[in-house]
Amino acid sequence: MNRFELIAPCHFGLEAVLKKEIIDLGYDIAKTEDGRITFPGDPEAIVRANMHLRSCERILLKVGEFEARSFEELFQGIKALEWEAFLPANAKFWVTKAVSVKSRLFSPTDIQSVAKKAIVERLKGVYHTEWFPEDGAAYPIRLFLMKDVVTAAIDTTGESLHKRGYRKATAKAPVSETLASALIMLTPWHKDRILVDPFCGSGTFAIEAAMMAANIAPGIARHFLSESWENVIDPKEWKACRVEAREQIDPTVNPDIQGYDIDASVLRSARENAARAGVDHMIHFQQRDIKDLHHPKKYGFIITNPPYGERLGEQEEMKSLYREIGEAYRRLDDWSMYLITGFEDAQKYIGRRADKNRKLYNGMIKTYFYQFLGPKPPKKEHTVCREN
């Protein structure tokens, strides 16, 4: 069976989360870099990674790597790669993206153009033709240039893995499904603990948590570009993986997951999204202001994405809001709170310094993942200790 190098991009700063996911899926790690993990795998690994990884943006099949300091070196390096191992004679292929960091070649459009010509020249010699119909399966190509080292890969996913298929409507500044999953996995939350999102918007945190609780594979309801790559992946692999994923779902799970928002129309969207994800029966959505947040049980989790106050003149409003968040949190006995926000004075107005703080980017917005750690539920023979 063919063995490949697979590249899994993720949000910067969340590489450890994705690395653990890949290991838990049964694969070894070859390399960890900023924003991506490389691991070896066969065609089945492409299928399972696309279907099961929650914090990953896409799965790329690495074709090769070489150094290029000029466009001639780029052309020759691309041409030397064995594209025919992946691209059949009727393949529809194009260089969909080129990213250059600290490299002599920095123009994405020029890099894309030169690379496409080089691939065509390579395939002309292999398939003994001067013209390609490009009416077959799609093989979008991505190039990464880092300090003059070119990595060439083919995208096996298509639409980003954050597009699970359930979210049709979004709130302002939504957290993507992949980022929400990664942030949940950074916390000690599990399905036996309470989870409340008091700014739930389109419901992403609650829905992703419910899918985790029921062991619903994030890719189970969508399709992937490489499903049509019959020259690389046997279609039976996709069918078998979906059957396996459905068998792994736990329909008996009954987690305590709640989503609140003050906007009734946003809550309608959240309920619709949850229904599409098949988890609406696991989540209680309610119209409620942060000032009214309370819960009788101990040791719960707040995981949320409050408003950032991006527009001019919103700073005073944000100060008041984050004071209310702090007051609500203090009313919750022995809870933990995790929030991602672009409001830099969040800790000041919450009234407590976070136990941990991680800088992240939500899209192009610089944000902070503040972690306020409450105690673990006590065990009969153990003393209560802090969450970690």
3-state secondary structure of 191: coil
Query: Does one domain contain both 355 and 265?
Result: yes
Average pLDDT value over all residues in the chain: 94
Q: For residue 314, name the pLDDT band (cuts at 50, 70, 90).
A: confident
Q: What pLDDT score was predicted for residue 289?
A: 96
**Whether the Cβ atoms of residue 329 and residue 337 lie closer than 8 Å to each other:** yes
Query: Does one domain contain both 209 and 88?
Result: no
Q: Tell me, yes or no, whether 162 lies in a domain.
A: no
Q: What pLDDT score was predicted for residue 60?
A: 98
Q: What pLDDT score was predicted for residue 310?
A: 63
d(CA 303, CA 317): 21
d(CA 211, CA 213): 5
Q: Tell me, yes or no, whether 231 lies in a domain.
A: no
Q: For residue 173, name the pLDDT band (cuts at 50, 70, 90).
A: low
Cβ contacts of 193 within 8 Å, gap of 6 or more = 256, 299, 300, 301
For residue 284, what are the β-bridge partners?
Answer: 258
Query: Does one domain contain both 116 and 211?
Result: no
Q: For residue 184, name the pLDDT band (cuts at 50, 70, 90).
A: very high
pLDDT at 387 over 90: no
**Whether the Cβ atoms of residue 237 and residue 44 lie closer than 8 Å to each other:** yes
Query: Does one domain contain both 147 and 183?
Result: no
**Whether the Cβ atoms of residue 50 and residue 156 lie closer than 8 Å to each other:** yes
Q: What pLDDT score was predicted for residue 168?
A: 80
Tokens coding 228: 């049509």
d(CA 20, CA 16): 6
pLDDT at 362 over 90: no
Query: Does one domain contain both 184 and 249?
Result: yes
CB atoms within 10 A of CB 14: 22
d(CA 340, CA 10): 17
Q: For residue 385, name the pLDDT band (cuts at 50, 70, 90).
A: low
Query: Does one domain contain both 117 and 192?
Result: no
- pTM recorded for the entire structure: 0.94
d(CA 88, CA 71): 26
388 or 51: whose pLDDT is higher?
51
Q: What is the mean pLDDT of residues 37-44?
A: 98
pLDDT at 380 over 80: no
Nearest-Å Rg of the Cα atoms of the chain is: 23
Q: What sign does the CA torsion over 9, 15, 17, 23 have?
A: positive
Q: For residue 3, name the pLDDT band (cuts at 50, 70, 90).
A: very high
How many folded domains does the chain comprise? Answer: 2
CA dihedral 313, 340, 320, 197 (to 10 degrees): 130
d(CA 46, CA 3): 10
Q: What share of the chain is helix, strand, coil (3-state, %, to 5)?
A: 35, 25, 45
pLDDT at 384 over 80: no
Q: What percent of the chain has pLDDT over 90?
A: 87
Query: Does one domain contain both 39 and 111?
Result: yes
Q: What pLDDT score was predicted for residue 388?
A: 62
Cβ contacts of 277 within 8 Å, gap of 6 or more = 164, 166, 207, 210, 211, 216, 221
Query: Does one domain contain both 193 and 146?
Result: no
Q: What pLDDT score was predicted for residue 365?
A: 83
98: left (phi over 0), alpha (psi -120 to 50) or beta: beta
**Whether the Cβ atoms of residue 368 and residue 348 lie closer than 8 Å to each other:** no
Q: Tell me, yes or no, whether 165 lies in a domain.
A: no
123 or 315: whose pLDDT is higher?
123
Q: What pLDDT score was predicted for residue 316?
A: 86
Query: Does one domain contain both 278 and 322?
Result: yes
Q: Which of 155, 190, 206 is a domain's end point?
A: 155
d(CA 214, CA 278): 10
Query: Does one domain contain both 209 and 111?
Result: no
Q: Tell me, yes or no, whether 382 lies in a domain.
A: no
d(CA 377, CA 387): 9
Q: Tell me, yes or no, whether 384 lies in a domain.
A: no
Q: What is the mean pLDDT of residues 67-77?
A: 98
Cβ contacts of 161 within 8 Å, gap of 6 or more = 50, 53, 56, 57, 58, 59, 178, 218, 219
Q: What is the mean pLDDT of residues 214-222?
A: 97
Q: Strand pairing of 149-155 and 138-146?
A: antiparallel
Q: Tell me, yes or no, whether 236 lies in a domain.
A: no
pLDDT at 135 over 60: yes
Query: Does one domain contain both 150 and 100?
Result: yes
Q: What is the mean pLDDT of residues 128-155?
A: 97
pLDDT at 382 over 60: no
Q: Which domain holds residue 72?
A: 4-155
